[in-house]
């Protein structure tokens, strides 16, 4: 039977949870717990009456969306009524009108309120248009209003990467009330894609305080995806501190964290399971543990001694494997075998301990790139090697990437075209096109949404740059394809909806190219990200091809970007780059001029990989691109 989310029961913490100071329930994905929570909440909603309504505190953002979807389903299919529910939203950006596409008012109506029978006068969302001088009184009224409704019965929370709940950024006190707050840099950066640029993200927000949240009778914080893993572990296992406002929930009587397995990866129970209880010392577990130990005490693997293992909770590994010397050698070899200059396999070599098979010598390789720049940034050096080592490489840009392109790039193109067309009597259509684009850019203004012709033009600009970048990686022009997946073309970041057409388009390219090797993004840390969706499209497409002959011979390799690079113990293939090769990769990334891609950031990530390997006792390289093998490619 699934563990209840809302009812913690009367039980003592298990050994696994010894390090955890907030009850944390882990699920394999985000959909099942969201549905379960909605169903558990629906029981309480059905018990509510007009006189005694159920008061819910609600959050926005991508985290609660599956929860809201299930509430809507329960309303439509199982007659759940919201007539006796009163809601209070946590926060709102200051300075945004309610009809702004990114306002939380609009979000809540799109995601929940417009689809259920909750009366409008029972909905409360802080008003972002309140005049600055009136904000203090307004916030006090908001608090009073919550009290008048008897306080919050169930508070739903997400968590920001700064550890914020609501918009209680670092420095918020445990008893802070509803108030205006300046948003943290990281929070604004995380919202940058939604607002099409960090400069457009509001600087201030009105938020319920930590004190307001702490007074709720029950609190459930949900967190999905690996990019929440670090902050979840700090909030649950670290000290209570105003630097991480979610850590205050350690003092709440009835708070539960609900996490998927990726958001749980940094909890001690998963990060160092050997510290929590007995583990099976598989080769992968040994590598993880020994790399952790070497990092912790800053020693290369081959210099670890018995005492290091004993003093750091790993005595049983010695008991099982004889002593530090044998364990060290085993893990050193595992790490050593990940390093290869032949990412497509080395012809004629014994490949028993190599990451990739030697045969077939010339492989059909498909490299998927969610937006055109992603693959070049993550694996430009490997791409070049694959081509130069004679493989038949095709680069597939899954989406046009047009949302990344700045307005000024489109304007620049339109202006040049207009100048040319105006000088030539024969080009009235071009002149009119150029003027249309300029007019559309003027009309949409600062926060507006690009109309289709502008997005199309921006996509074409990026296409040209992608071709140049691919050429800089030695790839012939005909070997780059643009899928322009439909879900992207009329969507916005974090609001994309993957559809059947996206999967069919991906499946047909796989069926045509029948790859021996696929390289694709493993950047699924944020399940609502574009990369995660493109990855899902690939997995869905892949699972439809299961019975085709090429399928069983294909290996899938994952690359990662800067948000969540592979940890050393996760790397299955490490491709070293010489200083010259790294220089060429930097040059290839520079071709993406219209999106200001930071080539130095990519290079420094590759250099860090090399330094890390070096400090574990491997050879010292200039830079390394790293990959993980996808062992069980199945869509959830």
Residue 243 or residue 318: which is nearer to ligand F6R going by CB? 243
Buried-state track 77-107, b at ≥16 Cβ within 10 A, e below 16: eeebebebbbbbbbbbbbebeeebebbbbbb
- Tell the smallest beta-carbon distance from residue 167 to ligand F6R (Å): 6
The dihedrals phi and psi of 621, each to the nearest 5 degrees, come to -110, 165
State the minimum distance, in angstroms, from the CB of residue 439 to ligand F6R.
Answer: 34
Nearer to ligand F6R, 46 or 495 (CB): 495
CB of 498 vs ligand F6R, minimal distance in Å: 18
- C-alpha–C-alpha distance, residues 146 and 150, integer Å: 7
The nearer residue to ligand F6R, 158 or 459, going by C-beta atoms, is 158
- Output 159 or 454, the one with its CB closest to ligand F6R: 159
| In 367-476, alpha helices (H) | 372-388, 407-422, 428-444, 452-472
Bin 33: left if φ > 0, else alpha if -120 < ψ < 50, else beta.
alpha
CB of 107 to ligand F6R, least distance (A): 8
Q: How far is the CB of 436 from ligand F6R (least distance, A)?
A: 35
SS3 533: helix
Per DSSP, the three-state class of 518 is: strand
The least distance separating ligand F6R from the CB of residue 164, rounded to whole angstroms, comes to 5
Q: Which is closer to ligand F6R, CB of 94 or CB of 164? A: 164
φ, ψ of residue 92 in degrees (nearest 5): -160, 145
CA 171 to chain centre: 26
The least distance separating ligand F6R from the CB of residue 192, rounded to whole angstroms, comes to: 13
* Residue in 464, 502, 468, 512 with CA at minimum distance from that of residue 370: 502
**Both tokens of residue 611?**
């330094």
The whole-angstrom separation of Cα 410 and Cα 440 is: 11
Q: Is the Cβ of residue 62 or residue 338 nearer to ligand F6R in the bound state?
A: 62
- CA angle, corner 56, sides to 54 and 58, nearest 5? 165
62 or 628, CB closer to ligand F6R?
A: 62
Give me the numbers of helices (H) and strands (E) for the chain, helices first please: 21, 17
What distance in Å separates the CA atoms of residue 567 and residue 550, rounded to the nearest whole number? 31
d(CA 531, CA 524): 6
Shortest spacing between CB 370 and ligand F6R, in angstroms: 19
Q: Which of 70, 102, 169, 599 is the catalytic position?
A: 169
Residues that bind ligand F6R (CB under 6 A): 59-63, 90-91, 158-160, 164-166
Q: How is residue 203 written in tokens?
A: 């600087």
Minimum CB distance to ligand F6R smaller for 22 or for 59? 59
Coil, helix or strand at residue 227? helix
CB of residue 157 to ligand F6R, shortest distance in Å: 6
Omega of the bond leading into 360 within 30 degrees of 0 (cis): yes
Residue 626 contacts residue 561 (beta carbons within 8 Å)? no
Cβ distance to ligand F6R smaller for residue 167 or 613: 167
Nearer to ligand F6R (CB atom), residue 206 or residue 378: 206
What DSSP line would sit under 234-250, residue for residue? HHHHS--BTTBGGGGGG
Nearest-approach distance from CB 104 to ligand F6R, in angstroms:
6
Burial of 525 (0-12, 13-18, 19+ CB in 10 A): buried
Residue 253 is given by DSSP the state T
At 574, is the secondary structure helix, strand, or coil?
strand
169 is catalytic: yes
- Give me 95's structure tokens: 């300075």
Cβ neighbours, 10 Å, residue 490? 11
Residue 237 corresponds to which tokens in the numbers above? 């296992």
Active-site amino acid positions: 169
């Amino acid at each position: 039977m699934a563990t209840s989310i809302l009812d913690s029961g009367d039980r003592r913490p298990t050994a696994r949870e010894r390090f955890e100071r907030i009850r944390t329930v882990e699920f394999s994905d985000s959909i099942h717990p969201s549905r379960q929570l909605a169903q558990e909440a629906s029981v309480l909603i059905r018990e509510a009456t007009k006189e005694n309504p159920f008061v819910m505190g609600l959050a926005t953002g991508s985290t609660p969306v599956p929860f809201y979807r299930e509430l809507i389903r329960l309303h439509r299919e199982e007659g759940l009524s919201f007539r006796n529910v009163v809601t209070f939203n946590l926060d709102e950006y200051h300075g945004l009108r309610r009809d702004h596409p990114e306002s939380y008012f609009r979000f809540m109506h799109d995601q929940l309120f417009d689809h259920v029978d909750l009366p409008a006068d029972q909905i409360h969302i802080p008003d972002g248009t309140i005049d600055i001088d009136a904000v203090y009184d307004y916030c006090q009224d908001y608090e009073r209003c919550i009290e008048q409704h008897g306080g919050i019965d169930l508070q739903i929370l997400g968590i920001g990467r700064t550890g914020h709940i609501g918009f209680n950024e670092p420095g918020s006190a445990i008893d802070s009330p509803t108030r205006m707050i300046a948003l943290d840099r990281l929070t604004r950066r995380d919202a940058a894609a939604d607002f099409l640029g960090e400069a457009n993200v509001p600087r201030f927000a009105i938020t319920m305080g930590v004190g307001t949240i702490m007074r709720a009778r029950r609190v459930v914080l949900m967190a999905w995806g690996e990019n929440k893993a670090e902050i979840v572990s700090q909030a649950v296992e670290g000290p209570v501190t105003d630097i991480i406002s979610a850590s205050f929930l350690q003092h709440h009587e009835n708070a539960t964290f609900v996490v998927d397995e990726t958001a749980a990866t940094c909890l001690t129970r998963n990060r160092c399971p050997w510290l929590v209880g007995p583990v099976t010392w598989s080769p992968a577990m040994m590598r993880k543990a020994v790399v952790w130990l070497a990092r912790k005490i800053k020693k290369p693997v081959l210099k670890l001694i018995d005492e290091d293992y004993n003093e750091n909770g790993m005595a049983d590994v010695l008991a099982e494997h004889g002593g530090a010397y044998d364990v060290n050698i085993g893990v050193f070899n595992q790490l050593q075998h990940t390093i290869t200059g032949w990412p497509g396999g080395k012809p004629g070599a014994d490949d028993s301990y190599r990451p990739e098979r030697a045969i077939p010598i010339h492989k059909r390789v498909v490299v998927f790139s969610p937006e055109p720049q992603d693959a070049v940034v993550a694996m430009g050096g490997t791409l070049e090697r694959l081509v130069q080592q004679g493989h038949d490489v095709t680069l597939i840009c899954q989406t046009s990437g047009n949302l990344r392109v700045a307005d000024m790039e489109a304007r620049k193109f339109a202006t040049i075209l207009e100048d040319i067309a105006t000088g030539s009597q024969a080009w009235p259509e071009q002149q009119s096109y150029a003027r249309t684009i300029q007019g559309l850019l003027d009309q949409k203004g600062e926060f507006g949404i690009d109309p289709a012709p502008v997005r199309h033009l921006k996509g074409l600009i990026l296409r040209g740059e992608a071709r140049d970048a691919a050429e800089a990686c030695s790839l012939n022009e005909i070997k780059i394809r643009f899928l322009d997946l439909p879900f992207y073309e009329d969507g916005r970041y974090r609001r994309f909806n993957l559809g059947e057409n996206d999967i069919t388009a991906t499946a047909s390219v796989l069926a045509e190219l029948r790859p021996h090797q696929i390289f694709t993004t493993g950047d699924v840390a944020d399940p609502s990200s574009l990369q995660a969706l493109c990855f899902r499209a690939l997995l869905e497409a892949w699972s439809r091809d299961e019975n085709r002959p090429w399928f069983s011979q294909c290996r899938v390799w994952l690359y990662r970007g800067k948000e969540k690079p592979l940890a050393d113990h996760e790397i299955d293939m490490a491709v070293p780059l010489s200083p010259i090769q790294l220089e060429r990769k930097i040059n290839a990334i520079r071709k993406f001029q219209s999106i200001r891609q930071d080539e130095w950031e990519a290079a420094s990530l590759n250099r860090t990989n090399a330094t890390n390997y070096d400090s574990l006792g491997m050879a010292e390289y200039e830079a390394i691109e790293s990959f993980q093998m996808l062992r069980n490619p199945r869509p959830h």
